[in-house]
């Protein structure tokens, strides 16, 4: 069975490329509100579950112990662009436990943001602080410190921090995550494959607290509030996650992951969303997420107009000429 075409890429008036994918929208009990394509397929959620991975930081008491505010919590949930404010925030998190960039095991890469990369090239070299996952890693390190255990090896599957993360993912998804589900993420921590449908349920639980123990529900609410009030810290200048959460505030939580994954929650509707673009294309996953928000969330005309460029962006070339567009297919409307 092949997943439906969800996004088309036009050049002029002609179809140039197309993206297939699967979409699950579900409530906290796992009831499907929308299922397109194979929602039972196992998906590595990658960075789309960073907010769920960050629950440990609050549940273990680290956020309180180190006085983390919304910016630090949003950074722990972030795939940030490596802009100076992101780097400063992660540095601050590590300083709370007397550590620095050398404690990070995520590896170094140049900032995702091109302006940040150019500016950094003019002053130095990238460090692990610029890695888009550095906030999450700083969170894990602080979690280990709050547990009173060695932070070295915090990224390994059998470290207590990662065991806690796995338990959170199992609780929210309702899925047993056996060793056969584990692979290594881009930043070296475990990533756990689960059915797309269960991933939507996990985000419904994250977005509402339903079906969660009170302490876990409170941790979810605190992270959601942090991300939606500090969306720049979750991604960065001009990024989709940032712009969408800026537009809708606490009404929408969204988070991108590598290989065409996008997850989100619409708390007022009690719904979680999970998207997997078959081919791993982020451009398509973004357009699908924008289309789903437009489909489910009650919107003013102004909000609807603001969403439109995200669901159907115009493509421009190096001279700024309009050369094409993305459009979502009828399957999503």
- In the complex, which residues of this chain contact a copy of itself (CB under 8 A)? 2, 9, 11-12, 14, 16-20, 42, 44, 105-110, 114, 117-118, 121-122, 131, 182-188, 191, 193, 259-260, 277-281, 284, 317-321, 323-324
Nearer to a copy of itself, 138 or 265 (CB): 138
Report the nearest approach of a copy of itself to the CB of residue 42 (Å).
7
276 SS3 class: strand
Q: Specify whether the backbone of 320 is left (phi greater than 0), alpha (psi in -120 to 50) or beta.
A: left
Q: Tell me the two tokens of residue 82.
A: 């490596």
Cβ partners under 8 Å of residue 188, min gap 6: 105, 106, 107, 155
Asked if 282 and 132 count as a contact pair (C-beta separation under 8 A), the reply is no
Q: To the nearest whole angstrom, how small is the minimum distance from the Cβ of residue 240 to a copy of itself?
A: 18
Rounded alpha-carbon distances, angstroms, from residue 222 to 45, 53, 63, 174, 219: 22, 14, 10, 22, 5
How far apart are CB 265 and a copy of itself at their closest, in Å?
23
- Residues 235, 253: Cα–Cα separation, whole Å: 12
- The least distance separating a copy of itself from the CB of residue 217, rounded to whole angstroms, comes to 31
Strands (E), 12-147: 14-27, 32-36, 42-43
93's tokens: 């998190």
Taking the least distance from each CB to a copy of itself, the nearer of 59 and 83 is: 83
Between 250 and 312, CB nearer to a copy of itself: 312
* Residues linked to residue 82 through DSSP beta bridges, in sequence order: none
> 28 or 116, CB closer to a copy of itself?
116
Closest approach, Cβ 98 to a copy of itself, in A, equals 24
Cβ closer to a copy of itself: 72 or 185? Answer: 185
Distance in angstroms (rounded) separating the CA atoms of residues 24 and 34? 6
When the beta carbons of 146 and 284 are compared against a copy of itself, the nearer one is 284
- Tell me the closest approach of the beta carbon of residue 16 to a copy of itself, in angstroms: 6
Taking the complex as a whole, the smallest distance from the CB of residue 211 to a copy of itself amounts, in Å, to 27
Number of Cβ within a 10 Å radius of residue 4: 15
> Residue 99 or residue 108: which is nearer to a copy of itself going by CB?
108
């Amino acid at each position: 069975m092949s997943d439906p075409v969800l996004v088309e890429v036009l050049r002029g008036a002609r179809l140039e490329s197309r993206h297939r994918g699967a979409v699950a929208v579900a409530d906290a009990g796992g009831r499907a509100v929308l299922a397109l394509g194979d929602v039972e397929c196992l998906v590595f959620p990658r960075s789309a579950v960073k907010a769920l991975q960050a629950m440990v930081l609050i549940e273990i008491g680290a956020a309180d112990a180190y006085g983390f505010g919304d910016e630090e919590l949003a950074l722990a949930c972030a795939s940030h662009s490596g802009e100076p404010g992101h780097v400063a925030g992660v540095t601050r998190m590590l300083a709370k436990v007397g550590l620095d960039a050398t404690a990070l095991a995520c590896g170094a890469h140049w900032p995702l943001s091109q302006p940040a990369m150019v500016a950094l090239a003019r002053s130095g070299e990238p460090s692990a602080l610029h890695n888009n996952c550095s906030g999450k890693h700083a969170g894990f390190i602080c979690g280990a410190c709050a547990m009173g255990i060695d932070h070295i090896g915090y990224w390994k599957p059998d470290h207590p921090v990662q065991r806690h993360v796995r338990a959170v993912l199992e609780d929210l998804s309702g899925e047993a995550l056996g060793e056969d589900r584990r692979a290594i993420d881009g930043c070296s921590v475990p990533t756990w494959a689960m059915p797309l449908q269960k991933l939507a349920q996990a985000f419904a639980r994250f977005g509402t607290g339903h079906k969660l123990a009170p302490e876990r529900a409170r941790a979810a609410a605190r992270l959601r509030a942090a991300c939606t009030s500090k969306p720049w810290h979750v991604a960065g200048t001009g990024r989709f996650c940032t712009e969408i959460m800026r537009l809708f505030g606490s009404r929408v939580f969204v988070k991108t992951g590598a290989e065409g994954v996008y997850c989100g929650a619409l708390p007022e509707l009690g719904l979680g969303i999970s998207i997997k673009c078959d081919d791993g294309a982020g451009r398509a996953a973004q357009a699908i997420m924008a289309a789903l928000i437009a489909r489910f969330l009650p919107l003013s005309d102004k909000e609807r107009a603001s969403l439109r460029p995200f669901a159907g962006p115009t493509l421009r070339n190096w001279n700024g000429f309009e050369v094409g567009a993305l459009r979502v297919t009828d399957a999503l409307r």
